[in-house]
Structure 1
Amino acid sequence: MRATSAKRLCLPALVLAFVSGCGTPGPPQPPSLNLSKPVSDLKAARTGNQIVLSWTVPTETTDGATFRHRGQTKICRAIDQARIEGTGKCAVIATLATPAKQETANAVTSVPAESTAATDYVTFALEVDNDRSRNAGLSNQVQIPTAAVSRLNGNPASELTPDAVLVVANATPQDAGLTQTLELRRSEKGAPHEITVARRMLELPLGEAANVELRDESFVWEKTYAYRVVVVGSANLPNGSTVVFDGASTSPIEVIAHDVFPPAIPMQVQAVFSGQLAGQPPSIDLTWNPVMDRDLTGYFVYRRLPNESSVTKLNQQPLTAPAFSDKAVQPGNTYLYSVSAIDERGNESRRSDEASEQVPR
């Protein structure tokens, strides 16, 4: 009995020793420094004299933990400096609270007044501090040109023609060393986006105001559009990239593309008696030059006798081809013919010059 009790006492001891060996703690881990990972997707875009910076708000620390104790985000700027080596090498132009619940953040700043030559630019970077004003270094760096672009004087004028919407802007060139283009941008009423419908290089004497015409030939009749003219600059940066940016812009002007324009008048109308063949009634065949208007529907043919002042329309539906055969003619009569063109919206041209032909007796 004593031997059996001794064996039973040994089993719990072995189990306890086994459990104790598995639970031995490893070496202690250092505490997190709570340093935010540097921003890696900083972007910059220029519109006019405003520069918009945007980035993704950091959520992780450099050691993979959640970035909890957030401090300030510092925006660092350097003028005509290709790279910023640290905040001591640039001007901190703004300090923002790092948002806790936003995925993205942005900030708006202005083009520096002292940096407007054709080759001038600025470099931006960010530092994201924790609540102890410590950080893991600068973000990626972005550059944006700051050259002065040409001025647009007042609102543009517009004119609706049969072939295009004409928009005329008055511009004053500011910097001959900067590549600049005038763009005509159009948005349809009720649509959120605009498209560029015309471009023209800005090549005017420096400092002299002049009118520049832009044409929109892709508009659609019976729609309402908003147009604006934008000066677009293009500059090469030290990092090897070419940045295209919007400079000055006019306010939008509204154009209602209501078609009140008839097609061109048909030309070179000819009338020829075709004779009487194999028992067929006599006829007069008409031809004319086709009208090339893009919204042409067809043609109407009119006829009168020499002693008549009014004309008779010979076809009630528009002809789609520039030809017609008049079989309702009588021997011995002379007929005078004219032709008009009509478009998709019912605008009819004036009648052509008359062509005459006689039916032999």
Structure 2
Amino acid sequence: MNGRRTILHCKQRFDFRILMLFFLTLCGCGAPGEPQPPSPPIPAPITDLTAHQQGNRVQLVFTLPSRTASGERLAERPAMEIFRGSLRPNGSPDNKSFKLVYTIPGALADAHTAEGKIQFSDPLPPEDMPTRPGTTYAYRVRTRASKKLNARVTQNAIELSWPVPALGGAQNAGETLVGYHVYRGELETTALNPASDDLSQAKWKSPPGLLSPVESNSYHDTSFDFGKTYAYQVRSVVIAEGNPVESDDSAPAIVTPRDTFPPAVPQNVVAAEIPGADGVRVVDLSWSINVESDFAGYRVYRSEKPDERGQPVPIELLLSPSYRDSTVQPGHRYWYVVTAVDRAGNESVPSEPAAVDLTQPLP
């Protein structure tokens, strides 16, 4: 690993030494790992990391890579993780001492950019200022290309899934992946560009909050509402030196679920002829009730051909699972089917037909 040591002199009476490590660029083997495929694009290394002490802060300056290690252009800006650590007595970096002090999502890189470079100011630990003059700090900057979560909308849940991150290397020694934290926020739908997953300019109805901890690399969100816009992000959780540590946010999955799911098909449709008033012939229909929470009603269709749906009778929706058709004519044979409709206007496929033969007189 390449590196150099810089001794900086403060205007105050405290001096600190800063070791800049050029640079550790990892992806897919983080500490902890962002949920991502095992072989995502690897950003090119940072080669111009510099550091300057400014009072009780350290100013880090570097160029964010725009291409992969193989020279291909990155589809989006990588996230940045700033680590601070110390040295062993022999002057080599103590990998176990490095702690994540800040994460800059790629979407927020502009907020830390000046003159074309990333500039980050790290406040030094206050307890070190009077008690540890001459302390040497080592910094590592890790970049990682984000991969989107997979999100699938079903009738009862928004199903999220993501590949398991890989942990490896000296930076991750002794760390164990124990699960994930799923975060969800609600966005202002009208202010969102649906082609972009950049949340830096997002307008939140409710900011992201922890939705649920999970042990596996999938989660089903059943507490959503159709028509609202949600942004999901996932963080890996590892145990490092006995403490739980979260990764950076994954790239967001932005979902506006639409209710395109029809109710269940009505079952057990029965049709029977019964005598009506003044000798009028009537067909009595009944079927099993639907139990969907967004159920709106039923439609009954009548046809004189077994392979056609026919026309609705009556036109309006029926709220109960029964209907009496008094518009039938003697000497005809009818086929009835029933559909269910929800409040979004989704209509189920027709039920199995039920036939009634009025060509014979009533007994």
Tell me the TM-score normalized by structure 2. 0.51
Distance (Å, rounded) in 2 between the aligned partners of 1:72 and 1:352:
85
Q: What's the counterpart of residue 185 of structure 1?
A: 183
Relative to 1, partners in 2 of residues 1:73 and 1:262: Cα closer, same or farther, differing over 3 Å?
farther
In structure 1, the partner of 2:215 is: 201
Cα separation, 1, equivalents of 2:181 and 2:279: 62
Q: CA deviation at 1:337?
A: 0.5
Structure 1 residue 218: Cα displacement = 1.7
2:264 corresponds to: 264
| Partner residue in 2 for 1:110 | 83
Asked whether the 8 Å contact 2:301–2:309 carries over to 1, the reply is no
Q: What's the CA shift string for 1:154-183, capped at 9, x where partnerless?
A: 221222222222222111253897462223
Q: Report the AA paired with residue 338 of structure 1.
A: V
1:226 is aligned to 2:224: no
Task: Show CA shifts across 1:201-250 (max 9, x none).
Answer: 14xxxxxxxxx33222222111222111222346795xxxxx65422421
* Count of aligned pairs: 228
Task: Quote the Cα distance in structure 1 between the aligned partners of 2:286 and 2:15.
Answer: 78
Distance 1:331 1:246, change over 3 A: same
Q: Unpaired segments of 5 or more residues in structure 1?
A: 1-70, 76-92, 98-107, 135-150, 203-211, 238-242
Larger RCO, structure (CA 8 Å, separation 6 or more): 2
**Are the aligned partners of 2:276 and 2:282 in contact in 1 as well (CA < 8 Å)?**
no
Aligned-residue RMSD, C-alpha:
4.1
The structure that has the greater radius of gyration is 1
- Are 2:56 and 1:96 equivalent residues in the alignment? yes
Give the whole-Å Cα distance in 1 for the aligned partners of 2:13 and 2:312: 82
**Where does 1:123-272 land on structure 2 (aligned, <5 Å)?**
126-127=126-127, 154-174=147-167, 178=176, 180-189=178-187, 190-202=204-216, 212-233=217-238, 244-272=244-272
User: Aligned-pair distance for 1:199?
Assistant: 4.0
Counterpart residue number, 1:336:
335
Where does the alignment leave 5 or more consecutive residues of structure 2 unmatched?
1-11, 17-52, 58-80, 86-93, 102-123, 132-143, 188-203
Given residue 213 of structure 1, which amino acid in structure 2 is its aligned partner? S
Q: Distance in 1 between matches of 2:148 and 2:97?
A: 25
CA contact (8 A) 1:154 1:170 kept: no
**Would the alpha carbon gap of residues 328 and 127 (structure 1) be closer, same or farther in structure 2, given more than 3 Å must change?**
same
Equivalent position SS for 2:314? coil
* Structure 2 counterpart of 1:253, one-letter code: A
Contact 2:309-2:337 at 8 Å conserved across structures: no
Q: Structure 1 pair 172/179, CA: closer, same or farther in 2 (3 Å)?
A: closer
Which amino acid is the alignment partner of residue 288 of structure 1? W
* Larger mean Cα displacement after TM superposition, 347-356 or 192-201: 192-201
Q: Structure 1 residues 316, 235: CA separation in 2 closer, same or farther (over 3 Å shift)?
A: farther
| Preserved CA contact (<8 Å) 2:177 2:236 | no
Could you tell me how far apart the structure 1 residues matched to 2:13 and 2:263 are? 67
Instruction: Give 1:96's aligned amino acid.
Output: N
| CA distance in 2 between partners of 1:272 and 1:116 (Å) | 81
User: Structure 1's 333 and 236: CA in aligned 2 closer, same or farther, altered over 3 A?
Assistant: farther
Report SS of the residue matched to 2:160.
Answer: strand
